[in-house]
Each structure stands twice: as C-alpha cells, then as structure tokens.
Structure 1
C-alpha cells in the first residue's frame, strides 16, 4: 500500500491473491479523505482524515479484523506506518521536497520496492506485482495530473493523462461498469513547467557563469572571493542556468512574493472565448486582487492567455484593454500559451542579475567612498587594527544583500572580508593605518568587482526583455477600422489584413479581399479607417486574381508529376501538422491553410521534395506585431503559397431545377434565410427504429441557423437545438414563381472537431418517403486512395457535375463563418483539373463527393464545404455516418 502526498493525493493499492487493483484519489490543498474496506475480495472506498493535520486510513482486512494505518505529512515529507497481516507492523518512510521515494514491503515472504522520480519532471512508479510480472504506472505532472484507471475482471489497466492547468483523476471501476470520479482543481501550491523558449536563448542561459580574474602576483591580493563567496556565486549561476531547462510557473503568489530572488513566475490565467457576439476575456481564477495588488518590482508576474480561435496578437489586445489600467502601471507580462516564453525567462534572469549588480555596486561604493571616508574622520593615532575591524564591519553592514544571500550566510562574507583586510594590513602596517593605505589594499578588489559588474551588465543587456509598451503600440496598429459595422453592411468585403509590406521601410498596408468589383465598398471602407494612420490600401477581387497566381500554378503542375511521399514520411508530416497547426494559425494570422506538399519554390527553381505547404493571404506582408512566416516547421522545409479560402454557401438563393424530392446537388436552405447550398448524399437508417429516419446529408453551415452553439465540439442534439427552428426548404426554379417547398428538418449536425477531424456535417430528415430501385454505397477506405491520381466527382447547384484530382487527405484550413472560426483539420483536398472549369463554387457547399474507382464505380468520400481558386475542401464523414448507424444510398 502506498500513499503519495504532494498537494494531497493518495494511491491505495490492494494486492490480493496475486491480482492487483489500483485506486487513486486526489484532493486539493486542504487534504483528502480515504477509507478503505477490503473484505472477501470486494472493495469499498470510504474516508480518511485531513492531509495537513495527518490522515488515518482504516481498513477492514477480512474476518472482522481492523488494522490501522496512519500517515503524517510534515514539511513535504511523509512517514507511513502500516500494519500488514498477522499482527506484524512494518514501517516505511518517504519524503522529499522535490520528489518521492516509496518503498513497500508486501507480505507472503516477498518484498517489492518501488521508487518514483522527481515531481517537477514527472514520476514513474514501478511495481512488481507477483508471478514475476511488472506493471508500470507513470504520471506526468504539469500543474496537475489525471490518472484514469480501468479495473476490469480483477485486472489492472493504467492509463496516463496530462494537463497544464489543473488535475483530474478519473477512475473506471470493475464489473463492466464505469464510474468516473473527478477531484479538485489546480493546486495553487504546486508549480508547473513551461520550457518553451528559443534555442538561442537556451544556449545563452545555459552558458552563464560568474568568473573571477586570476592574477599571478601574490602581493596584489583581491578580496573578491571573500565578498562573492561560492554559495552566492553558485546560487546565481544555478538559478540563471535552470531557466534554460524550464520556467517554473505558479499560481500561489502569497507564498512566493517574499522569497526573492526567485526563478518562478506567478501566473494569472485568462481564457479568450467567443460569447456569441464577440470575443471576451474571462478569468479562470478568483485571485485577481492578490495578483494585481502585489507591489514588488522584482517579482515576475505573467497574465497567461489561452484560446485558439483568435490570432495571438488579437487575443493579447483583448486582454490588454481589459486590464490596461494595471498593466501600464506594473511590470506584468502578457504571455500567450502558444508563444515562446523568452520574455518571461529574460525577465526573471534580468531581475536576478539586477539584484546582484546592485549588490556589487554597493560593495564598490563601500570600498571607494564609505570606508576611506570613515577612516579619514579618525585621528591617525587612534586607528588601531581593532578599530579598523570595527569600521569595516560598520561599513559592510550598510550593504543590502538579503536578495542575493540566504539568512544564514548573509553575515559570513562581512566578517570574512574584514578579517582578510586586517590580515593584509598587518603585512604592511602593524599598528596604525590611514585612508590611502585602505585604498591601496582594496584597489585590486575594486578592479575585480568592476570586471565582474561589467560582465554582469553585459549579460543583463543580452537578456533585456522586449519593451512591452512598444509591442502594444504595434498591436494597436491592427485596429484600422473605426466602424466595424461597415463589414456587415457590405458583404462584398470578405476579409482584410494589415501589416508591413516592406519590413525595412515599414510601409503600412491594408489589404482588402473583395468578392467582386465594388467601388462603393472600397470607398466606404477607406472612409471607415483611421485617417491619422499613414496607410496604403490594396483591394483584391478574389474572382479575378488568377493571373497573379502563375507561380502557384507552376508548382501545382510540378507536384502532379512528382513522386508520391512515402508512407513513413507522410505519417511523420501528418503528426507534425496535427501538433503544430493551432500554434501556426495563432502566431501567424496570415496563414489560412496547411498541408503536405511534394514540391517547393527555392529561389527561381522548383525543387521536388517532401515539405509543409503554408497557404497564406500574402506572403510578402507581415501583420503588425507578428514575425515573418516560418521557413521550416519541426525541421521540415515550408513552401509558402498564396490562396484565399472561403465557405461555399451562396449568400443569395440559388434556385433548383425541379420541385420534386431533393436529389444530390439540388438547392436547399434554411427556412426564412436567403442563403443556400446543395443537398449531398442520400441516406437511410440501417435500423427501422433509428430516429434519424431517411433523408440527405449536407454541410452544417448551410443547414443550421445557430452554428455558434455547435462549435467547437458539440452536436446538434447535445446543444438542445430544436429541429423546428431548422426547417430545410427546397428552392424551386424561377419559372415556378420562386416558391420554397419544405422538404425536411435538421435532426443532427456537427461543426467542429471530432476524433481529430473537423466536420461540417448535417443530417436532414425528409418529410416524404422515397421509393424506387436503389444501391447501397460503401465509403472509400483510406488505404485504397491514391493521392494525386484518384479522380473524384460531385454534383452541386452552381457548377453541376464536375471532376477533380484528390491530392491530399490531411489538409487543415482556417476559415470564418457567422462569427465562428472553423479549423478544417484532416480534410480531403480536391484540385481542379482545369481552373477554367472549377470543381466547386459558391452554392455548392454540402454536395457529396465521390471517388471514382475502376472507371465507373463510385464510392462516397465526404461533404464539400469550402474552396479557393484552385482547390476544394471536403470533410471526411465515414466514421460519423457509421456512428449514427446510417448508410449512403443511390437511387436509379
């Protein structure tokens, strides 16, 4: 049996007849209660006392006997006394400020010993569990840990989870049933690490040293080693060097504010979320008063901003405006979770170096001014060696050193220094001394201290944090539009970006993307912008910019001919894109898509090699407050290509060609809404009692009125949206007076991520039954797709039946609709066979895309939802269709 005390957690294990059951409970700072009754192979969990005061665990261990185990937690350590069987008592002890060691003796004549590592970096528990078998349980601590345990049929299954901002402990317990118990929130006393700093800064911090100059002349003794003693030097070096490995963050400011200097930063977490109308900053903690009311200038405070729906700079601006009154007055760093923590590390290092520089300056002043001055005030005949010692101590007592030395050692250097000075004086003058003699004795020390001070100040300059006030000035340049209602009133304005066209000359540009030629919108947009800013406007009609994309077209043609990326490399690149995409979108607002590529532009040449394609709005424009686009990601080269992606919903009615039952490609839309899209696959329920019935599939952004309630991972039914509010009409052709015919209602939908894929998917149950000969279609499997070669087809209301190339199965796109930022992760990407005959246009959203096999056989692939000039995005719906127990059908 083992108990681990670190903010309050206990792991209790029963080892019975060679079988193992593992249970864990967690609690917050005030302790945990665990009672355990183990009787006849059954497990009951009851209560224990408080960790702070000690805890008792009462166990009934068969035959009505009661054994008592008590734990006592003192100063981060614990001793565990266990009574195990046959009246024998075995005592185990663990405890460590920075980790834990757990030793266990488990009866039946055998002893198993387990040790756990350091809590800061994670811990591992290795257990020998009978019959020579070993089970391993590991927990990872980053401000909290979650352990999910499944215990089925008296077997132990152990899983691992990690969390940056809190702790969740989940248990699945026995007999085929699952019970989940969650405990507590982030323990404020437990710090966590954020090691994400640049390699350049890591190298700089890791190499930091305080070095003394060596002089071969024995008669020119320096007292610098008596001043900056080894413990002081090691403390500074170790503290600064530790920042190269990790930055320790904590929420508990009350216990850290008086422990200066510190390598920790106190954080106050803020989530930037969309509340239905706009993005806003919400506090995750209730300790804002304590955080903002600290007055210590040397304590590092960080507002840690979280949220992946907005670019980093925009999110930081929202937080800045909310806390502007305190941020401007205090040294508070605005840090986004996706940014490197360079400024936080620099700020901590800078403050530590500043304290030591102040200390060294004080010592230099004492040697050059205070000590000679005090000695000069005494008559020469009264300056005995004893008097000199008293004067030295009085001068050195004035030097403030509490920020650079521990309380136990802050007087040692003064006495050591005074004694060293007297020893040196005795070599020159046995009875009396004067100011000139003191100056002569101390000059070498002053020179050495000045050398050390110079090196410290040089290093301090290299770790000087960025000027946040200047950064904020750059962020505010993004807000060029004074009246944002202009964007709603003029739908031809699709998007705009602001930044520097020339990073050297700092030419400030506003680039506006228009759906069509609209001079009136251009004029009104200019008038709505801040006239005080010197801006250059660029208006781009996205429908007529094809001539400017010759470079991209050449790369596309080269990619078609390039050899396929091998499966191992594709797998690696997929993982990289999956891991980095949200961070890339957040850090670079210019980027609108990411995928695997087979060729890239290198100077004037096109080079065939695996790469990561970054689709951007303008590869020569750097948005205000951001860095240039990356040349590589995780060691893989990037190819930057300009594209503009948007959803394919038609803002106006695209009438159908008949008024019969909806067929794939016909026009559909939400009742009382002028926008429209296309009907996709026809479906039937596999089981007659399925509430989804029969109908067709389409895109959620076409069929659901309130998309905000679905994003990022809530289904239509989970959001409690009413089917009666999402009636779907079938639009008739103009010759039948443009009538709308009700054909069904939305019964399920998803608009966001599910199982590592982003879905734009809606199920529309039709009003009337459909009869006729039909065929059940099976989805195309990923292992039978040939990227770059497979031909696909779709039928939409705008373009009709078209064909294209399937070029990618893991494309990620960033688009916005109805105020929601959609991340189309792991989408299929279809390329036009001929740009003059596009595969997909506005109004085609929701159409079903099929892959053609063996010349004529068609297999469903997914739902088309977005497009650019040359490509179309299709979401993979195979898993969700199976999950809903539906099947795709085609009628003849």
Structure 2
C-alpha cells in the first residue's frame, strides 16, 4: 500500500480523545494512522488497487475478527472514512545473527566455504558444522589438516560489508580421513562460536544469494517460508524419491535429487587440493542438479543438504553435507549421521529454533483471540457460578435459620402441649376421685 502514498497528510487530524477511547476499547488495534488512499476488495479473491481518498487507518492484528465483548470499529473518525488494514508494530532492537548458508573464511585467508548447520555443543556453548578443509588456509597441505586443526585451533571469520574479516569462532575439532576407503570418508569440522552478537536468532537461511525467483523455483513462496528449525534428520536410500536442496555461499538455493548411492571418487589434485598425495571419497551420496546447472560450486563446501517434504510451507530434514562437486555437475554429499558420529555428536544436538511462518500468523492470532474469548467466558461463568453459589448459600443459610427457629418454636409448642396435657391429666384424676367418693356415699 505504501507505494500508492504520495500526498501530505497534515490535514488529517485525529483527536487524542478518540485515539484513547479506541485504544482502550479495542484490543485488536496495533496502530492508528492516516493515508491518502483507501483499500478496497478485502473479501475479493483478486487484489484491486486502492482508490484515492484521505482516510484514517486503523491497523489491527487480523481483520474480520471481533474480540469477545468488543464492538466493531467506527466507520468514520473526525469526518474521515476509516480504512482497516492488517499490521503489527515491533521494536527494532536486535542483532544480525549468523545464518545457515553464510559465507565463512579461515581468518587471514581469502578461501571460503559455507556455514552448514548449528549445533549445541553443550548447555552453554553453541557452534556450527562445516568442512574441515573450509576452516584451513588454502596453503595448508591436506595431509596435515587434522594436525593443523588440533594444534592451532584455527579461527573462522565472516566477511563484513567493508571487506574486512570479523572473527566469529574457533575450530575445536576436525575429521579428515579421505585416505580411508573401508569406511565413509569424512571431511568435517566443529566450530565453536565465540562472538555472542553473532549467535543465530532464527532457523532461516542466508539471504545474500537468494532471489524470489530461485525460491519459487525451489517450491518456496518467499524467504520466510524457507527454514530449518526443528533439527530433524533423515536417511537417504536408493528408494528415496523426494527432492533435496541446499543453500550455499556461492550458488544460493539449488535443488537436486538422488543420482547414485556410495560412489567412489578420487579428488583431482589439479582442481582440488594441491598435493602429491591422492585423496579418496568413499561412502558418499551423489546428487544431480534439478532445474539448475550445478547443485554446488566452489565455495559451497559445508552446505547442509536437506530432504524436502511436501507441505505448506515445505518442511526440511537434514540428510548430509556437500563436500565436493564433479565437472559433470553432480555433488558428493556425506550422510549427516556419519558426520555427527565422527564428531561425537548426536542428531538431538542440532540447534532448534522457535519460528513463526507469516501465513500461520492469522491462525495464531485467531487462536489467541479464541483463547482470550474462552478465558473471558470461563471467567464470566465462574463469576456467575460464584454469585449463584453465594446466593444459594445465603438462601440455604436463611432456610437453616428458619428451620432452627421452627424447631425452637416446635419445641416450645410441644412443651406447652405437654404442660397442658399434664394439667388435663391432673384434672381427670381429680374428677375420677370425686366420682369415686360420690359412689361410696350412695
């Protein structure tokens, strides 16, 4: 709506009294403002442009719902028509935390890779997983990567907007067993976050290489609908038919599908690590691109790969981490279960985030309103019942008092009757004696 605004609104005056009354009597209101246009067609399935008209705008959490015990919004305020719109007001305080898919670099080096996913190291420490070769300088001999991580605990940085690095963490441990062919090859590192102002706030992904078009091609309406918040994982087998995706520092979001289970690969020393030694990748999963040229490119190493389950929005389950790519444009992915096990971690340690998908907000607000309605109804019923019980109690107390009085009166009456009966008995006895004497004389 803001793109249609082009007039000065100084002529629209709203009295403080009207504002105070509205705010006090309508719990759904979030903002009272003004506009040079009026929205139309709220109930229509096809959106319509607004009409030119100066209006008083009442913003609320959700339209079409009147909280229990409240009235409808007024049609006019201060001689202007009222336009009701939806919006919420929030504090702008916060920090720009790290996100999955962010570009990370070895401090002091220009090589880079991708932040895979966040992990709870313990109750007090947070970190993330990426490839071991990502946290080491490009000049480091691959054969000494493990020693380098163990001995130096290399720092990892992000690249700030001014082109300078900012250190965010240190690599605590790494696994790099690309010379073993009997087991699943692992190229992974655990990095502890040391800068609290960079701790992640949400389970959303880096927006730097995401476009609306790429999101929609991947089946997501917008960036808000792409998140990994519950820390769930899944296994991939030759029977898996669901699509996968990753968000990398170079190529952003790309989709793929299972191509082949457990391929054997040898790292091309000319294109990969410059070394006299051959490195092998075993026990990987090969992913072919879907709707894109490459699934990953250089700089995407470390990206977590997710299984995409149908839903609104689609739900993600982590299945692995992208490690290498081929010249025929496929990706080699290490299963997440093997990576976690090699780092002495469990799937339950994958960081979980609270999330609120914007399309759920209406339902959440309506749910809250009905909860409020239910609460008020219960309070009203409780008050009514309490008042009724108090009235019944008073009535019972009155009846009890009346019964007590009646009992006392009855006791008094019985006592009087007993006394009268005794007197009658005495009179009858006296009369009998008289009759007896009269009979004797005759």
Higher RCO (CA 8 Å, separation ≥ 6 residues): 2
The structure with the larger Rg is 2
TM more than 0.5: no
Q: Which has the higher strand share?
A: 1
Q: TM-score, normalised by structure 2?
A: 0.45
